[in-house]
Amino acid sequence: MGNKIYFSQIQAKIDRLQRERTQVLEHLELVERKIQKLNDALKVMEDETLTDEYDTEVYSYRTYKHRFRGKLRPMVLAVLKAQPDYYFTVNEITEIVLIKDGQDPIVRPKHTVSVRGALISCDKHCICTVSSSCFSFSFNRRSTNSCFSNFCAIIKIPIELKFQ
């Protein structure tokens, strides 16, 4: 038999390795739970209807799919230029743009959000005003280089539609 000193050293080493094994197993369990959460998040993000259920006021899940095939801002401006004296709602503009884009004219909330973003991104050509009954944009020619010469349209959006 070996020396008692060697026996106790070997026993201490075995104890340390067993503690390390339990720590590694706990860590693997934690990693497995994190992987499962991320896989669940991917499944949720794949299905657009589920993403709407999990959206909050602060955070909105994105599916990284383009809502429109063409460039949205030029299409919106073309619609406005075609009828400069007409007061549009966002849903009307969205429906017209969807038809121009070759899609079914089914207006979804995420479509209207995209169209509102396109309208707001027209800041250099836009004057925004809010009255008690509507939210209106007035697009004017502000620079001589602009391709929107002789173009002026006003969009009136009821305030209750503004936060859909």
Residues 78 and 124 in one domain: yes
Residue 115 lies in a domain: yes
- Cα gap 50→36, rounded to integer Å: 17
Predicted TM-score (pTM) of this structure:
0.43
- Cα gap 149→143, rounded to integer Å: 9
The mean pLDDT of 2-30, rounded to a whole number, is 92
Residue 144, pLDDT above cutoff 70: no
Quote the percentage of the chain above a pLDDT of 70: 66
Q: What does the block give as tokens for 149?
A: 């010469």
- Cα gap 147→143, rounded to integer Å: 9
Residue 48, pLDDT above cutoff 70: no
Residue 146 lies in a domain: yes
Three-state DSSP at 156 gives: strand
pLDDT tens digits for range 63-93? 666 778 888 888 888 888 888 788 888 888 8
Residue 63 lies in a domain: no
Residue 111 lies in a domain: yes
pLDDT for 117 equals: 81
